[in-house]
Amino acid sequence: MSPPESRPTTLYQKLSHQNTVKQIDAEHVLLYIDLHILNEYTSPQAFSGIRSAGRSVFCPEAALAIVDHVNPTRDTAVDDMQDKQAAEQIRYLTKNCAEFGIEMFGLGDPRRGIEHVVAPEQGFIQPGMVVACGDSHTTTYGAFGALGFGIGTSDVEHVLCTQTVVYKLLKNMKVEISGKLSAGATSKDLIMAVIAEVGAAGAVGQAIEFGGEAIKNLSMAGRMTLCNMAMECGARAALIAPDQKTLDYLKGRPRSPSQKTFQRASNYWRSLASDAGAEFDRVVMIDASDVPPLVTFGTSPDQSVAIDARIPDPSSARTQKERDSLISALAYMDLTPGTLMTDIRVDHVFIGSCTNSRLEDLRDVARVVNGRRVADGVRALIVPGSQEVKRRAEAEGLAKTFTDAGFEWRHSGCSMCLAMNDDVLPPGARCASSTNRNFEGRQGRGARTHLMSPAMAAAAAINGKLTDIRRLGAVR
């Protein structure tokens, strides 16, 4: 395809342009996919479609399959799984990968875990790549300056057969975050603040590029959390320009470029940034120092308030639509306007998910729970994002800190992030969760979810209610 006009372009425009095979019309292109990540949940119909049409996988070496959604996080072999349909999904993925020559991290693989934790951890995700996966939180990879996005099952089949996808080009949004995070606030609070500011559908049809002092100060784990949840304000892509932190993270990882070629790759990676003067369709400005520890009270990630605030009154809503949404959310959550967030009791705590299950997250949790105990009547689970995270947490003594405090310590997997495996909340349960979605029934039919940072979830486990982490003296 011919190069774009000689005008300043955004990082998103550069990445989408360089992988465009063909311009279909003013809004759509045929986009080449550098890496296709598959899981057991969204791939079965695609493989069945390939078989029924007598087709083959075009580029199996550009695909990676990971079991993560439906598997138990206890020591359970596939043949012993209680959920026979889930077990069959895993067997079918195993069969498909063997037949079509696709690399797979199955339940017995020491590299396995949640796809959006494992792929970066192993060095598969690199700046400048275009990555597709049958999972909406593929936006996580934008933390590396890679264009990652979720696709549906029909597109999974299309990518398998052609290594391309018909792609609708996005508008460009810039989220500039200045200042430094205050005590107790984390990247999770930062993205929750962005979602509250933009709205649950405020970035639909847009790619968000994050920039500013606060972004530069974030670790790679923090950047992954930020890009992971950008999906929750409707963005189909999230990007952060790669810098030295990106390079330091990638160096020496199993699937990163070898030492011989790493410098050459680094030179290209450093060039990936929006041009000076590039135009964005919308610019949002946020001061990180104004962001407190946040907690959701409703059934959408944009319904959050500071931990020391009260549940808002629907009568104060700006529109009838917002008022109706708040009334419905509070009815489902069984909460009353004006209630202090710190007066809300919980009976379950879940720390994990592709948003917050990396080693850095678990270190934050350990600082909170060290020497303390989970409150009576609270069931608390910690599920690492990968087996590598699990091994390192155990080697550092974090796992012992958790179990001594009364937490359940599991193998890696999506677990209680979504009601698709053995870890499901019962109806009416109230959970402090480090996950990315608090939709009705997300963690179990009739269950109620409050989103927050891992450290805040740990504090809730200790006190048996939503707790201001700043009052525990365990902030970093």
Q: What is the CATH number of the domain that holds 187?
A: 3.40.1060.10
Residue 265 belongs to some domain of the structure: no
Q: What is the pLDDT of residues 253-287, one digit of tens each?
A: 999 999 989 999 999 999 999 999 999 999 999 99
**Residue whose tokens read 């310590």:** 409
pLDDT at 3: 46
pLDDT at 131: 98
Give dist(CA 202, CA 234) in Å, integer. 6
Residue where one domain finishes, among candidates 168, 195, 228: 168
For residues 383 and 313, membership in a common domain is answered with yes
Structural domain containing residue 450 = 295-471
For residues 465 and 415, membership in a common domain is answered with yes
Residue 112 belongs to some domain of the structure: yes
For residues 443 and 372, membership in a common domain is answered with yes
pLDDT at 4: 53
Residue where one domain finishes, among candidates 168, 196, 214: 168
How many residues are recorded in the chain?
476
Q: What is the pLDDT of residues 330-357, one digit of tens each?
A: 999 999 999 999 999 999 999 999 999 9
For residues 158 and 50, membership in a common domain is answered with yes
For residues 452 and 373, membership in a common domain is answered with yes
Residue 261 belongs to some domain of the structure: no
For residues 132 and 219, membership in a common domain is answered with no
Number of domains in the chain: 3
Three-state secondary structure readout of the chain: CCCCCCCCCCHHHHHHHHCEEEECCCCEEEEECCEEEEECCCCHHHHHHHHHHCCCCCCHHHEEEECCCCCCCCCCCHHHCCCHHHHHHHHHHHHHHHHHCCEEECCCCCCCECHHHHHHHCCCCCCCCEEEECCHHHHHHHHHCCEEEECCHHHHHHHHHHCEEEEECCEEEEEEEECCCCCCCCHHHHHHHHHHHHCCCCCCCEEEEEECHHHHHCCHHHHHHHHHHHHHHCCCEEECCCCHHHHHHHCCCCCCCCHHHHHHHHHHHHCCCCCCCCCCCEEEEEEHHHCCCEEECCCCCCCEEECCCECCCHHHCCCHHHHHHHHHHHHHHCCCCCCEHHHCECCEEEECCCCCCCHHHHHHHHHHHCCCCCCCCCEEEECCCEHHHHHHHHHCCHHHHHHHHCCEECCCCCHHHCCCCCCCCCCCCEEEECCCCCCCCCCCCCCEEEECCHHHHHHHHHHCECCCHHHCCCCC
pLDDT at 5: 57
For residues 382 and 422, membership in a common domain is answered with yes
For residues 301 and 352, membership in a common domain is answered with yes
For residues 237 and 157, membership in a common domain is answered with no
List the CATH number of the domain containing 304. 3.30.499.10
The residue type found at 313 is D
Contact 443, 425 (CB under 8 A): yes
Residue 156 belongs to some domain of the structure: yes
Which tokens sit at 21? 């095979």
For residues 279 and 181, membership in a common domain is answered with yes
Residue 1 belongs to some domain of the structure: no
For residues 154 and 213, membership in a common domain is answered with no
Residue 2 belongs to some domain of the structure: no
Residue 266 belongs to some domain of the structure: no
For residues 140 and 219, membership in a common domain is answered with no
Residue 252 belongs to some domain of the structure: no
Over its length of 476 residues, how does the chain's per-residue pLDDT go in tens digits? 444 557 999 999 999 999 999 999 999 999 999 999 999 999 999 999 999 999 999 999 999 999 999 999 998 889 889 899 999 999 999 999 999 999 999 999 999 999 999 999 999 999 999 999 999 999 999 999 999 999 999 999 999 999 999 999 999 999 999 999 999 999 999 999 999 999 999 999 999 999 999 999 999 999 999 999 999 999 999 999 999 999 999 999 999 999 989 999 999 999 999 999 999 999 999 999 999 999 999 999 999 999 999 999 999 999 999 999 999 999 999 999 999 999 999 999 999 999 999 999 999 999 999 999 999 999 999 999 999 999 999 999 999 999 999 999 999 999 999 999 999 999 999 999 999 999 999 999 999 999 999 999 999 999 999 999 999 876 66
